[in-house]
Amino acid sequence: MMDHGDVEWLACPSCGGRLVFHGQMTEREHLRHGALRCGGCGEAWKVSRGLARLYREGEVRGTDRLMRVIYDGLPALHDPLTAVLTPLLQSVSEPDARDRYMRRVELGALRPRLDGQPTRILEVGVGTGANLPLIHRDLPRGLDVEVWGVDLSEGMLTQCRKRLASGELPRTRLLMADAHALPFPDAMFDRVLHVGGIGGYRQPRVALEEMARVARPGTPLVVVDEQLDKAARPNWMQRLAFRAITFYDRNPHCPRELLPLGATGVVEEQVAPFYYCLTFRVDSPNTRAMSGREGTSSAG
């Protein structure tokens, strides 16, 4: 859960202004019920049952709305189905596939920040939190770290909160937020990861720009989603299964043509027969392709 001190690291999705919490907190100063109000534009963002909802419902439409309906409908089945179908359809185990893209996040290379702030890691589209144990596994021991996860599916976030309830994954904050307008200031995160959703976003270019905006210069940004590995010569059953899984996308592929201006160190690879991994960096804040709050809100 988020505590009162976390609020200072949030930014209004509409204007980028600072937020102030008004409402009830738990005895441990976790946010419970109320609203996060922007000091700039005055917008109020609801907090309910400890979960901040930093998005506009009216901008969740098209494929974003469709995918949220699907994920909200089967959150408890998502992980078991993934574990069973991945080796059945792709001849690779789910842990092996995850390990192949987690190495690109380069968590082992992280060192304490010179400004004394905790190292901050963001997963966009955190889902049920299946990657969170891997993130904590790969971090250097003793490093002061905060992990933040955002998603638009309340059902998936509910499953993720159950995963976190054991207390084995400390300092993890969850938010409901739209990847097209991330509720964070510029250059906040030391690592940014996204797995399995961008092909269903209504504006993947804007989402990539937002991920680059909130990343510190030079940090690896890792994006994973569906792409059929034709070099592996998929059989008819694999082709049919892949088409069924990606029914919402006419051309599921790695979106390297949508990367922000100034993207460097671009690496595209297949980490499984159905999944690509796209890694890139943006080295200077002055060369980032800023999506802009104004452009983001008008695009919905």
pLDDT digits (tens, 9 = 90+) for 6-60: 999 999 999 999 999 999 999 888 899 999 999 999 999 999 999 999 999 999 9
CA distance 56 to 86: 34
8 A C-beta contact, residue 159 and residue 130:
no
Helix-, strand-, coil-residue percentages of the chain, each rounded to 5? 35, 25, 40
10 Å CB burial of residue 43 (0-12, 13-18, 19+) is middle
> 76: closest CA among 194, 160, 1?
160
Which pair of tokens denotes residue 280? 């890139």
Please name the amino acid found at residue 36: L
| Radius of gyration of the chain measured on its C-alpha atoms | 19
pLDDT value of position 151: 98
Looking at residues 278-299, what average pLDDT do you find? 57
Q: What is the pLDDT of residues 143-179, one digit of tens each?
A: 999 999 999 999 999 999 999 988 777 789 999 999 9
Q: Are 150 and 177 in contact (CB under 8 A)?
A: yes
* pTM exceeds 0.85, yes or no: yes
10 Å CB burial of residue 79 (0-12, 13-18, 19+) is: middle
pLDDT 10s digits, 219-254? 999 999 999 999 989 999 999 999 999 999 999 999
* Paired tokens of 122: 């963001």
Q: What percent of the chain has pLDDT over 70?
A: 95
**Going from the N-terminus, what domains does the chain have, and what CATH number goes with each?**
1-53 (no CATH), 55-299 (3.40.50.150)
* Contact predicate 42/161, CB 8 Å: no
pLDDT at 293 over 50: no
Q: What is the pLDDT of residue 43?
A: 96
